[in-house]
Amino acid sequence: MNTGTEPRALHLLNTVFGFAAFRGAQEEIVGHVASGGDALVLMPTGGGKSLCYQLPALLRPGAALVISPLIALMQDQVAALKQLGVRAAFLNSTLNSKQVQETERALQSGELDLLYVAPERLMMPRMLELLAEPKIALFAIDEAHCVSQWGHDFRPEYLALSVLHERFPAVPRIALTATADPQTRDEIIRRLALEDARIFISSFDRPNIRYTIVDKEDARTQLLRFIREEHAGEAGIVYCLSRKKVDETAAWLAAQGVRALPYHAGMEAAERAANQERFQREDGVVMVATIAFGMGIDKPDVRFVAHLDLPKSIEGYYQETGRAGRDGLPADAWMAYGLGDVVQLRRMMEQSEGGEEFRRISFAKLDALLGLCETAGCRRVRLLDYFSEASAPCGNCDTCLAPPQTWDASEAARKALSCIYRTGQRFGAVHLMDVLRGKATERVSQWNHHQLNVFGAGADLDEATWRTVFRQLVALGYARPDHDAHGGLRLTETSRAVLKGEQQVEMRRAVPRRGKSPKARSGAAIPAGVDADLLARLKAWRSEQARTQSVPPYVVFHDSTLAGIAAAHPRNLDGLSVITGIGAKKLERYGPALLELLR
C-alpha cells in the first residue's frame, strides 16, 4: 500500500461516510485497489461492497467508472453519494442528449469522482474515446456474475468488458459479486481476464437473518399471522411460484389490511414499474412477487422475505432470502413448506425441456433443498455447508431456538407405504390419509378402499402428523410423486427395506402450532432501549425530507442511523456526528433540524 493511504482512507470513512470503522476485508481491499491493484471481491449482499470501490475512487486521482447493469438503481446510488458530498453522476439510456453532454463535459474537466455507466454505453466507441487513461481512477465492475453465461443474470454486454484491460492496462479493475459458487467465480476470472487479480472471499453468512421453515397448513393464514405478529407495518417480499398466485395473494393480503402489491412478468410494464417504485420509495410496502422480482432491488430495510412456495435450489433460496436485512438489522427469512410443493416442483422438473443431465442436476438441487427443510439441526450450518463453509450452530434459526423432536416413525412409514401399494400407487396424500385414518369419503367408497386392511390402520395418529409423514417419506426418497397423474405417490427402490422392517425411519415431529413464537421480537427493527415514539417521529421527518427531494427515504438516513439517534438522544452537533451514518455533509445539512426535533 502507498504510504499514507491508510490514515487517509480511515479519515474519509469517518468524515464522508460517517462510519467509525471498516467492516471485514474492506480496509484491505480499499488499500489494494487504491494502490493500483486488481481485485475480485466476493461478499454477501449487505456485506459492504460499494465502499470497496467508492473509497479508492476518492483516494485516487480521476473519476472511477462504475459499470452496473441496474439502470433503475443508478439514480438512487448517485443521489445517495451526492448526499454525502461526493461528486457522482450516471450515464444511461434514461438521460436526454443535453444531460449526456453535460455529464461528459464534467467527466472531461475532472469534476467527477464517480461515474456510473451501463455496460453497453461504456463500450460505445465515442465513450471509449472520451476516456483518457490518466483521468480514470479505476473500473469497478458491479454484479460481475452477469458475465457468466450459465447464470440466470447473464448480460451479453458484459463479455465485451475484457477489452478494458487491453485498452487501459494501467487502470486498476475491481469486480464484485454476491454469487457464492466456485464455477461462477472461475468464469468471472476467465472472461474478465482477472487472472492476476487478488481474490477476496468473505464469509457468506448473513448473521442478522433468522431462518424459519414451517409446516404448511393454511399457508396464507400462516403468512398473515407471521406478518402481523412480527413485521406489522414493515417492508417485505413474499415469493410465489406462479403469476396467478401472486395476484391472488396480493389481493388477499391487501383485503386483510396489509399494504401489499403484486409484481410479475405478466403485468403491464408501467404498472410493474410503478409497484417497484412504491416498494423502493415508500415505507412498509409488502411486495408479492415471482422470482422475476429481485435483481436490482437495493432496498436496505427489507425486514422479511417469505416463501409461499419452495424455491428450486439452495442457491435460489439463499439469493432470494438474501434480499432481507441488507442494513444489518434483524430480518427474517420465513418459508411455509409442504408435500404439495415437492410434488409440484418434481413434476415441473420431470416435464422440463432440458435433457437428461439437466433433469438429474435439477433433482439433486431439489434434494439438497429438501435436506435443508427437513433437517433437525441448525439451518445455517446446513446452508453454509452447501457453499463449502464450515460453521457452528447459530442460535438464530428456528431449529436452534426450538430444537425439533424426532421420533421413530418406522411403523407409521410402513403403514403409509403399504397404503400406497394397496391402493395401486396412483393416489395423492390427501386420499391416502383418509384411508389410513378410516374416513368414509365418497372417493373411498367409489374405490372400495374401506375394504382394504389398511383402512383405519392409522387412526392412532392425527392428520397433521400424517401430513408430515407423507412429506418426509417423499423428502427422504422412500416414496415419490408420479409426474403423469395428479401427484399420485409411488414406491421407490428404497421403500422395500422399510416395508420389510429392515430399515428404521427417524422423522421430525409435527411442530404444534404456537401462539406467538417464544422469542418473537416486537417490531424486529426497533432495538432494545430505543424510544419508539421518537423513532416514529424521526421516520415521519425523514419521509418528509425524502419527498421534497424525491429520493427514497434510506438515501436521507438508514433505519439504523435513525435508531442510533433515538437511542443516543444527542443534544448537540458533536453528539450527532459520532452516530454511524452521519458524515460531515449530512451533519451540516440535517443536523440543526434534527436537534430541533430532539428538543
Interface residues toward ligand ADP, by CB under 6 A = 19, 22-23, 26, 43, 45-51, 300, 326-328, 558, 580
- Compute the residue count for the chain: 599
Q: How far does Cα 545 stand from its chain's mean position?
A: 28
Closest separation in Å from C-beta 49 to ligand ADP = 3
Q: What angle do CA 230, 555, 235 make, to 5 degrees?
A: 20
Determine phi and psi for 506, rounding to 5 degrees. Answer: -95, 135
- Axis-axis angle for helices 463-475, 410-422 (nearest 10): 80
Does 213 contact Zn ion by CB under 5 A?
no
| Total H helices, total E strands in the chain | 27, 17
Does 210 contact Zn ion by CB under 5 A?
no
| Partner from Zn ion, ligand ADP, none binding residue 394, C-beta < 5-8 Å depending on class | Zn ion
Q: How far apart, in Å, do the first and last CA atoms of the chain sit?
A: 46
Binding region for Zn ion (CB under 5 A) out of 24-32, 88-96, 179-187, 393-401: 393-401
Binding region for Zn ion (CB under 5 A) out of 41-49, 60-68, 296-304, 378-386: 378-386
Site size for Zn ion, by CB under 5 A? Answer: 5
| Partner from ligand ADP, Zn ion, none binding residue 380, C-beta < 5-8 Å depending on class | Zn ion
| Partner from ligand ADP, Zn ion, none binding residue 334, C-beta < 5-8 Å depending on class | none
Q: How far is 131 from 168, CA to CA, in rounded Å?
A: 9
- Output 469 or 526, the one with its CB closest to ligand ADP: 526
Closest separation in Å from C-beta 400 to Zn ion = 3
| Partner from ligand ADP, Zn ion, none binding residue 400, C-beta < 5-8 Å depending on class | Zn ion
How many of the other CB atoms lie within 10 Å of CB of 278?
13
- Output 257 or 395, the one with its CB closest to Zn ion: 395
Closest separation in Å from C-beta 554 to ligand ADP = 8
Place of cell 486488481: 38
- Output 289 or 324, the one with its CB closest to ligand ADP: 324
- Maximum distance among all Cα pairs of the chain, rounded to whole angstroms: 89
Binding region for Zn ion (CB under 5 A) out of 307-315, 316-324, 399-407, 559-567: 399-407
- Output 18 or 62, the one with its CB closest to ligand ADP: 18
Does 400 contact Zn ion by CB under 5 A?
yes
| Partner from ligand ADP, Zn ion, none binding residue 192, C-beta < 5-8 Å depending on class | none
Q: Is residue 584 helix, strand or coil?
A: helix
Closest separation in Å from C-beta 227 to Zn ion = 23
Question: What is the DSSP annotation of 301-358?
Answer: T--EEEESS--SSHHHHHHHHTTS-TTSS-EEEEEEE-HHHHHHHHHHHHT-SS-HHH
Does 449 contact Zn ion by CB under 5 A?
no
Q: How far is 546 from 400, CA to CA, in rounded Å?
A: 40
Q: Which residues bind Zn ion (CB under 5 A)?
A: 378, 380, 394, 397, 400
